[in-house]
Amino acid sequence: MSKEWIKPLLTSVSTLVFCVACGSGSTTETDGSDFEAPDDGEREFVVPEVIGEVSDDVFDRSRLIQVYMDMPDADFAQLRSEGRTLNTALSECPSSDFEFTDFKATVNIDGTQMDNVAIRKKGYLGSISSSRPSIKLNFDTHDDGRTYKTMKRMTLNNDRQDPSHTHQCMAYDLYRAAGLVAPRCNLAHVVINGEDLGVYSQVESIKKPFLERNYDDKGGNLYEGQVADFGSHLNDKFELKTNKTENDRSDLSELSNILAMDDENMLANLPSKLALDEFITYWAVETLIGHWDSATGNTNNYYIYHDPTDDLFHFIPWGTDAAFTGVNVFKPNGGPLYKNLSIASRLYAIDETRQKYFNEINKLLTDHWNEADLLAKVDAIREVSGAPEEADDAMKVFIAGHEGLGYRSQRTRLESAMNGLEPEQTEYLLEDVAQDCDEPAPTTALTANFHSNGTGSFTFTNAQGETIVASMNLVTFSGTDSLIYKLDESTLPSVVNLTLIGAGAPPLYQPYALQVFIESPSYTPGDHALHGIVTNMMLFKAFTDTSIPIIYMGAGSTGTISLELAGDGSADSPIKGSINATIGILDISDQ
């Protein structure tokens, strides 16, 4: 059997890196009675001496703020374990009814100690981690009116997609430099229950105090966009964060109605509901910083605020940990000029507004994109964070390119695209149709046995009810590795990717790939429950006769990955394991 059939699959799976959008979740509150009696008995809360000079600025960039927390061990274990299933997060109805749980903790920030602080995990998917969970603190939940340096809340992002700890603060700085509203940011050293979790980014919460600081009237509607766009049905995907009692979302309908008009009428009416010039600048900044997991790049990670003062919608950036990367593996060829949001798509298609977009990018490149200054900021952040120098490599290559390795700078990429020298980009827009989220998405059992010696198989039932046995042995017989080990160090912590490649029954020998990923700290012999994107799997089908070499079939929901041998696949470090799980399954029969 020739191994030519497997080449498209190998080319694709060898480069897959899954960095899915992050965001926030809602909360529920638990009975706080357990807080008084930790599972391991009373433990002394030891906080070392504060390092450096503490200023009145809670977003001081000159040092790491020190955030120490203590909570019952059982609560911390539950907090770490919570998160949406990967299958749910990637589905057409991702919001579901998932809620993070509120716990209580004693918190010490730069020597100021507070008891009974509300604490919960945060994250939508890409930032979800059990080893280094992102955290939200609320100081006044159990002590009305309590603040820390005027802040009621503190958001601590784990920088899972950014080991350099540069992306978020540098991205928000560029938004503000362009005259836009953006959250403040700095770095924090986080310790929970004596466990050093390392450096996090502290990012200002998008709540009413933020609105009060940046707008003349904080009473308008604030919406969060997580995989959300404008349209008669799509408007439902926006989550209203303020004025929930009134729940008057007619402002969204007014804007989406304008976007349904022809070009001439849309351009005439859009400035009455959207700060249009401001949006074009916002769009240009998202493009400049390669923020693919953004409003215009991925219909994700943004807020919109309807300011009563001017009766206009204003865009606010969020979730910039994947900025300065530029490439969305789920939307190939979707950049570098992002137009995956309905507003951006309409404006890009019109010569006049497309030119305004290009002019704004060029202005930003001239006024704010100084490669030497940006690289100096990267070095300055590393001095504060203590990150290893190699953690900055990807960031520096994105900014300045690397001639020796054949990587172009972001400036070169954008100028080439604006001059029409790049291949025609693919546009990815959400479909404005009603979604039936009452019925659960279909799932199927998936089992697997695998060994790095090339034996094993994985079995599942496709959407048509056919049982598929993907044999790794058949792939091995073709002279191709059927289990590929890859350590992805672009995340913090790093992630072990195991790609299992199997072939269906003859005569078709249809190839499939099952990519299994486990965070490095958990990559040990034993049973590992599926959790978010940190311990899970994705299933793909391969094609040999189309321009799309692989297509996504489904992702893990519940179950267990069991490792008997957790090696790197070499002769003296074999891998052996099994999987017993439930996965979501898509109907791809028409693709």
The per-residue DSSP string of 268-321 comes to HHGGGTB-HHHHHHHHHHHHHTT--SSHHHHSEEEEEEEETTTTEEEEEE--GG
What pLDDT does 138 receive?
Answer: 98
One domain for residues 350 and 452 = no
One domain for residues 410 and 269 = yes
Helices 276-288 and 351-367 pack at an angle, to 10 degrees, of 60
What pLDDT does 42 receive?
Answer: 67
390 domain residue, yes or no: no
One domain for residues 168 and 292 = no
**Cβ-count burial 511-520 (b if 16+ within 10 Å, e if not):** bbbbbbbbbb
Categorize the per-residue pLDDT at 514 as very low, low, confident or very high, splitting at 50, 70 and 90.
very high
One domain for residues 245 and 133 = no
Q: What is the pLDDT of residues 167-188, one digit of tens each?
A: 999 999 999 999 999 999 999 9
Boundary of a domain, candidates 204, 238, 265: 204
What pLDDT does 40 receive?
Answer: 52
One domain for residues 304 and 182 = no
359 domain residue, yes or no: yes
What pLDDT does 534 receive?
Answer: 86
What pLDDT does 14 receive?
Answer: 41
What pLDDT does 197 receive?
Answer: 97
% of the chain surpassing 70 pLDDT: 90
What is the distance between the alpha carbons of residues 312 and 273, in angstroms, rounded to a whole number?
Answer: 5
* 139 burial type by CB count under 10 A (0-12 exposed, 13-18 middle, 19+ buried): buried
Question: Which residue's structure tokens are 């009305």?
Answer: 144
Boundary of a domain, candidates 165, 180, 204: 204
Categorize the per-residue pLDDT at 11 as very low, low, confident or very high, splitting at 50, 70 and 90.
very low
One domain for residues 470 and 508 = yes
| C-alpha count within 13 angstroms, C-beta hemisphere, residue 372 | 0
One domain for residues 175 and 245 = no
More confident residue, 10 or 213: 213
> Do 184 and 194 form a contact (C-beta atoms < 8 A)?
no
One domain for residues 472 and 354 = no
Categorize the per-residue pLDDT at 545 as very low, low, confident or very high, splitting at 50, 70 and 90.
low
One domain for residues 103 and 179 = yes
473 domain residue, yes or no: yes
> Do 326 and 292 form a contact (C-beta atoms < 8 A)?
yes
What pLDDT does 17 receive?
Answer: 36
Mean pLDDT, residues 451-458 taken together: 97
Residue 3 has pLDDT above 70, yes or no: no
One domain for residues 533 and 474 = yes
24 domain residue, yes or no: no
One domain for residues 455 and 574 = yes
> Count of domains in the chain?
3
| C-alpha count within 13 angstroms, C-beta hemisphere, residue 83 | 34
589 domain residue, yes or no: no
3-state class of 26 per DSSP?
Answer: strand
What is the distance between the alpha carbons of residues 445 and 228, in angstroms, rounded to a whole number?
Answer: 30
More confident residue, 8 or 379: 379
SS (H, E, C) 187-206: EEEEEECCEEEEEEEEECCC
Q: What is the pLDDT of residues 200-216, one digit of tens each?
A: 999 999 999 999 999 99
What pLDDT does 546 receive?
Answer: 53
Q: What is the pLDDT of residues 324-337, one digit of tens each?
A: 999 887 788 999 99
What pLDDT does 511 receive?
Answer: 94
Residue 328 CB partners (closer than 8 Å, separation 6+): 292, 293, 297, 298, 334, 335
Boundary of a domain, candidates 137, 170, 204: 204
One domain for residues 330 and 355 = yes
What phi and psi values does residue 329 have, to the nearest 5 degrees?
A: -65, -20
DSSP string for residues in 202-258: EE---SHHHHHHHSS---SEEEEEES---STTGGGGSEE-S-TTT---HHHHHHHHH
Q: What is the pLDDT of residues 33-83, one digit of tens each?
A: 333 334 555 678 999 999 999 999 999 999 999 999 999 999 999 999 998
376 domain residue, yes or no: no
Categorize the per-residue pLDDT at 439 as very low, low, confident or very high, splitting at 50, 70 and 90.
confident
Mean pLDDT, residues 442-446 taken together: 94
361 domain residue, yes or no: yes
Q: What is the pLDDT of residues 15-28, one digit of tens each?
A: 443 333 334 344 44
474 domain residue, yes or no: yes
Q: Look up the domain containing 475 and give its range.
A: 4-11+442-584
